[in-house]
Amino acid sequence: MTDYGMVLQQDLAERCMAVDSRLSQLVPPEAMECFREGLLHFQAGDPGAALSAFSRSVLQAPEFGEAHIFLGLANALTSNIYPAFDHLEKAAELQPDSFAAHFTLAQLNFKLRIPQKGYDAAHEALRCATTLEQRAMLTQLLKEERARERNGIARPWFNKPWFPRSWFDKPWFNKAGLKKQLPALVVAGSGLVAAVIALIVHVR
C-alpha cells in the first residue's frame, strides 16, 4: 500500500470517527457502533477483527457507503479479493461522487494488474477530486502504474472480443464444417496451451 493510500484511508477514518450530522442521521446507532469498532481495529493493524466489525455494520446498514469502503479494504488486506471488489464497487455505486471509493478501487485494480478498470476508476476519482492533495495522490498512483507497465510484462486488457462476430458466421462454423476442421483446431489448441504454460513458467 502506498503512502498516499495510507494518507487517504487515515483521513477517511478520522472524518468518519468525527461522525458528522449526515452520518448520524442516516446510519442506525448499532451500525455506527460496529463501524467505529472496525475503525479502531483497522487503525490498530488488525484487518481480521476489522473485517468482522465492518461486516456487522454493513449487515445493519446496507446503504452505508463508508462501511463498504472499509469492508472492501479489510477484505483486500485479508486476501479476500472478490468480496473486496464487491464492496468497493458497491461503495462507488452508493456514493458516485466519493473520491475515496473510486481511488481505492483504482488502487486495487492496479495492484491486481487489471489496468483498464484501474484507469476507469482513476478517471472517476479525478472527477470527484476536490483538493490539491487528492489530485496529488491520484497523480502519484498513475505515475506508479505507468512505471510498473514500462518495467513489467504487458498485460491483456480484455476490453475487446478475442474474435470478431463475423468469425462465427463463417461457412465452416457449423456442425459439418467444424467436424472437418477439428484436427487442425486440436493441433492449434495444443500449441496455445503449450504457449500459455510456457508463459506462466516464465512469469514465475
What pTM value is reported for the model? 0.66
pLDDT one digit per residue (tens) for the chain, 204 residues? 445 545 555 556 555 555 444 554 578 899 999 999 998 998 888 999 999 999 999 999 999 998 999 999 899 989 899 999 999 999 999 989 888 889 999 999 999 999 999 999 999 999 998 888 889 889 999 999 999 888 875 555 444 444 344 434 544 344 454 444 445 444 444 444 444 434 444 444
Going by the DSSP 8-state scheme, the letter that residue 10 receives in this structure is: H
Q: Looking at the domain 3-151, which fold is it?
A: 1.25.40
**CB distance 124 to 102 below 8 Å:** yes
Domain range list for the chain? 3-151, 166-203
**CB distance 35 to 57 below 8 Å:** yes
**CB distance 66 to 16 below 8 Å:** yes
